[in-house]
Amino acid sequence: MKRTDLDISNPYVRRARLQPAMLVALPLGLATFALWPSGIVGWGAAWSLFVFCGGTALMAQMGRDLGRQKEPALYESWGGKPTTQLLRHRGAKNKILLRRRHQKLQSLLSDIRIPTATEEETDPLAADDAYDSCTAFLLEMTRQKEKFPLVFEELCNYGFRRNLWGMKSLGVTTSAVGTSAVAVVIGLGYRTGLVPPPIILACGILNLLLLLGWLFWFTPSWVRIAAYAYAERLLASCESL
């Protein structure tokens, strides 16, 4: 049977796992181009060999693993899984919407008792276990991206941000190395009286922007936006089940 978690043709694998890993590697590629622009033809052959040998699948796996390793810490800093928080009575912003979703989930899951507000207050851990069970059910029921395209879209957005955040230390390192390497090329060019071509300057600017992005943009708060958007869309799917 084909392993979809290794299948690069799978849209989720490409968008949420492979693309973050490629963004980590991009600064090194730009630096290499700045140093040896004439070798671009040979790089095409090297990339083809890399793909053929499973390099892209390895990159996708790295993106997934590093993202998952940091996910529990993210949940803890947020006060729990977003779906669990949105199913809790405490802190609910829309009691009517929450009650309707609880009623719908209860009708779909006869073997699980959705806690009342009092029961949740008495035993919050047991209540969270019930909410996690509801989430697991919805995850299984919404795996068909053709039937639940909005859920799939938000899943990809969250997976991309989570995995990108998981690879932050690597991203900072590669961006810093790439920016420094291009800066050296540009500096040596001016020192010898040669004005670097615009493409080299563009490589340096792009690497610098990536470094700033890793440092200031790719944060837990940035991941949290996508996580809650996905949680909202996942819970909304129960209306159509």
Domain layout of the chain by residue ranges: 80-141, 147-241
Residue type, 233: R
CB 186 within 8 A of CB 201: yes
pLDDT tens string, the chain, 241 residues long: the values are: 344 555 667 889 888 888 888 888 888 888 888 777 665 555 556 656 566 556 677 777 888 888 899 999 999 999 999 999 999 999 899 999 999 999 999 999 988 999 999 999 999 999 999 999 999 999 999 999 999 999 999 999 999 999 999 999 989 999 999 999 888 888 887 777 777 788 888 888 999 999 999 999 999 999 999 999 999 999 999 988 8
156: left (phi > 0), else alpha (psi -120 to 50), else beta? alpha
Among the listed residues 108, 83, 115, 97, the one whose alpha carbon sits nearest the alpha carbon of residue 238: 108
Instruction: Fill in the DSSP letter of residue 80.
Output: S
Residue 123 structure tokens = 């035993």
Question: pLDDT (tens digit, 9 = 90+) per residue, 141-159?
Answer: 999 999 999 999 999 999 9
**147 three-class SS:** coil
Question: pLDDT (tens digit, 9 = 90+) per residue, 66-87?
Answer: 889 999 999 999 999 999 999 9
Give the whole-angstrom CA distance, residue 199 versus residue 208.
14
End-to-end, the C-alpha distance of the chain in Å comes to: 28
Tell me the whole-structure pTM to 2 decimals: 0.87
Q: 10 Å Cβ neighbour count for 116?
A: 12
Write down the pLDDT at residue 59.
Answer: 76
